[in-house]
Amino acid sequence: MGARVTTSPWLAAGFCVMASVLVADEPSAPAGAADGVELGSLARLAQLEMANGNGGADTEEAAQPLAGYDKSEGFFIRDKTGDNYLRIGVQLQIRYSYFARDKRGEDVGADEVGSSDTSAIELERARLVAEGNVLSKNLTYKYQGDGDTDGAGAWKTLDAYVEYWLGADLTGDQANASLMGIGIGQFKPFFLRQESASSSRLQMVERNITNEFFNIDRNLGLWVRGDLIGDKEGPGVFYAFAMTNGFDSVNVRPNVVDNVPAFVGKLDFQLWGSKIERGKYEEGNPRQKELFTVGLSAASDYNNNSNNLNGLRYQVYELGLDTQFKASIFSVQAEYIMRWLDYQVGNTAIPGGRGDAQFAHGGYVQAGVLIIPDYGIELTARCAAIWCDDAQDGNGVEVGPGINWYISGDHKIKLQADVGWFDISGNLQDSTEDLDGSFGSGGNFASSFESTSAGVEAGEQGLLLRTQLQLSF
């Protein structure tokens, strides 16, 4: 026989009293509460309040933090609506470089910088950025400054601009805000693909010599840009057109700025893969995204000697074609640029063969593969070249491999190293961002080409080893 369980009537009565007290204290479901919502917890009570509209439309906004750190955006401060937002970012690049220079023959030639090797640690970039929006999600701003070793630690302003995104006003839909933005200030125009990519998102330690030669650097002016056609995934078109004070016209006093503006344009046709939001280019493929895009770029500048700079006049036109492909663990990008340059002093072509219609062109191919994707280990390689068709002008070449460790799984924290062979003629034409006429007596020219960030200049030949740790947030 099974054991018989009996219950004391006093114990049963006690349970009944406790149950009645709990039921009496339990908040009743407000009218219209959703079916199946269980009572008895603060979370459920909150659900009931929201179901009845108590907490209202502001509930989601109030639940968002007003200050903190976001993995994708960094440190931020915002109000409840998001109409006022400030993001504070930092970029640090600590680099070691060793340049083993070679002499061409027994003696240093006229186009050689020298044969001495250099070895140094430097703070290549030490940047602080403040950006966000004010009064509206569509009125954005950015300030970025830098105090790196190349500038002797002196603080300089890189970007300082405001931009209003008209797409929401034009279409009546906030989701279309990126259709058109109008901006003014000091900025980096969209021109070359690699130059348009942030230095924090490069696949190799530094940009290639072709980019550095044809680069127009930051400008002061106004622009319009936006994303056309396309959702988060799929085809789309990005455009950007700018009118500026001139190439490399930042931090320049107004009384020495030429009176004729420069014009810059960029078109990107995204044929496949993830959308590039508002032109935020990224090299390599640490997050294994898919992308195929083809781009066109153009720029022109004219100096009519209105600033009386050495009596110099010039006209320059540049055209570029670029492409980028990403799939799984692979990435590759390439670019080809052409330049037509006309130097004159007064109404006379500069002597020494640098007169009408100097032509220079160049390009590069850069690729990478994640050999250990789970740990973000990537092998890279690049080949870049500059050709000047004038018989008196030289050429430049860069080729070499590299390796990356994406410590954070993206570009924010990474360790990079590359080795490049450089051979750059001393009589190379002037670089585009320095067309102020570096010519001597009798028409003897010294090339103005020098890249402090890449660590090379005209007349150098040798093997350059660079390794760099980056922290960016």
Whether the per-residue pLDDT at 93 is higher than 80: the answer is yes
CATH no. of 64-472? 2.40.160.10
Identify which has the larger pLDDT, 271 or 353.
271
Is 468 in contact with 94 (CB distance < 8 Å)?
Answer: yes
What is the C-alpha to C-alpha distance for residues 86 and 141, in angstroms, rounded to an integer? 9
Closest CA to 422 of 402, 400, 405: 400
pLDDT of the residue at 4: 42
Quote the CA–CA distance of 328 and 318 in Å, as a whole number: 34
Domain coordinates in residue numbering, the chain: 29-63, 64-472
Q: Is the pLDDT of residue 198 over 50?
A: yes
Q: Which two tokens stand for residue 322?
A: 């670029």
Q: Round to whole Å and give the CA distance between 129 and 271.
A: 32
The CA distance from 283 to 206, in Å, is 12
CB atoms under 10 Å from CB of 115, counted, come to 14
Q: Residue 349 is which amino acid?
A: A
- Coil, strand or helix at 176: helix
**Average pLDDT over every residue of 100-104:** 77
More confident residue, 7 or 367: 367
Residue 446 sits at the vertex; the CA angle it makes with 425 and 435, to the nearest 5 degrees, is 105
- pLDDT category at 212 given cuts 50, 70, 90 is very high
pLDDT of residue 265 exceeding 60: yes
Q: What is the mean pLDDT of residues 222-250?
A: 84
C-alpha to C-alpha distances, 3 to 9, 11, 12, 85, 231, nearest whole angstrom: 19, 20, 20, 71, 71
Mean pLDDT of 238-258: 83
Q: What is the pLDDT of residue 158?
A: 94
Q: What value does the mean pLDDT take over residues 64-75?
A: 82
The yes-or-no verdict on residue 390 having pLDDT over 70 is no
Task: Scan for tokens 């980019």, then name that residue.
Answer: 211
pLDDT at position 16 over 70: no
Question: If you write DSSP's letter for every residue of 25-62 in order, what string do you get?
Answer: HSPPPPTTPPTTPPPSSHHHHHHHHHHTTTT-THHHHH
For residue 110, pLDDT over 60 is answered with no
Q: How far apart are CA 103 and CA 105, in angstroms?
A: 6
**pLDDT at position 367 over 60:** yes
Q: How far apart are CA 297 and CA 387, in angstroms?
A: 19
